[in-house]
Amino acid sequence: MAQIVRSGAFLQQCWSVHPLCVTVKRIGEHGTVVLSCTSCKSAHYLRVGIVVPQDSPTQREGHGHDGDEGTAGDLLLDACITAHRASVSLREMDVFQDLVVLRCADCRRRYTLHVSAFETHQK
């Protein structure tokens, strides 16, 4: 039976030890982003409250605004993961503020996720 740990510290430890092994798998039900680690065979579930998209500096210069106004961040993230999941990676995290930052290499957009609950399933 898999062990379940409800703390962001396990994701932070996993990502700090082997950052290239942590990948975004999918967006699950109820605003849950699922990450997995091929090294330690863990699945990390992030229940996300708010998603704040941020365009890259070069996109802002061309468009004149930060992010897509009027578009929900969770819809942008869902579309990004669906279109090019392999390009979305974990870039930053702060367990004290419950923040995780994902970045898409294809569209060069960053997504700041305000996480309401962390859960790690270990095999």
Is the pLDDT confidence value at 85 over 90? yes
List, for residues 3-62, the tens digit of each pLDDT value.
899 999 999 999 999 999 999 999 988 889 999 999 999 999 999 999 999 987 665 554
The reported pLDDT for the residue numbered 58 is 62
Spans of all domains in the chain: 3-122
Would you call 53 helix, strand, or coil by DSSP?
strand
pTM to 2 decimals? 0.85
Residue 114 pLDDT exceeds 90: yes
- Which single residue is written with the structure tokens 């993230």? 77
Instruction: State yes or no: pLDDT of 81 exceeds 70.
Output: yes
Q: Which of 2, 34, 6, 3 is nearest to 98 (CA)?
A: 6
| Residue 29: per-residue pLDDT | 81
Q: Cβ-count burial of 87 within 10 angstroms (0-12 exposed, 13-18 middle, 19+ buried)?
A: middle
